[in-house]
Amino acid sequence: MREPWVREIDRRAFLRRLRPILEVYAAAMRPPPEQLPGRHTIMERHASYPRFRALVAERRPAFPGLPGTVRGFAYGFHGERGQWWHDVVHQALERRGGPGHAARWLSDAFEVAELHVHPEAQGQGLGRGLLTGLCEGRPETTVVLSTLDGPEDSPARRLYRSVGLVDLLTDFEFPGGGPRYAVMGGRLPLAPYPDPASSS
């Protein structure tokens, strides 16, 4: 089996891959099927946001010229007022620490909207590759994202902490209900991953 490889794609390539990207999202998040059309619409809208960047992890095709098989993806954009997630989190951070606190994290932020790896492809370092590639060379001063607020030692939380992200909000419920989230943030560039050899 060919190993997945991580590469950047432009807006048009992202939109062409929305169907397999949504399949990865559905396998990783297991949302109710009726939510997927709405998620498709949201992802289409996100692709029009400023400084949009997307990466995919694809298994190389058997023959040149054929599309690869999407095994993971990540994308983000420059956060601005008027974007739903940005405005909701900005208000929550203002309530938590005041306007200055919210501005420190969100006035010049790269917002990682989605990062998912198909369950069959997890444990291969794809999430790490997608995250670091997505954030590499970004002009913003901070990176922010939300992730399910499960155990602090979950794979996602460990990944984000390992590059310097900290909890900004925990047990946070977005408008409309649903699961609780942790909002995390860090400074750019990301902190380097610890070298396992140096700790042995």
Which active-site residues does the annotation give?
160
* Lookup: tokens for 32: 């109710």
Report which of 174, 171, 85, 160 is spatially closest to residue 115, judged by C-alpha positions. 160
The one-character DSSP state at 110 is: E
Residue carrying structure tokens 């098989």: 69
Q: How far is CA 181 from CA 70, 102, 104, 155, 160, in A?
A: 26, 18, 21, 15, 14
- DSSP letter string, 9-48: E-HHHHHHTHHHHHHHHHHHH---GGGHHHHHHHHHHHTT
* Lookup: tokens for 107: 């006035």
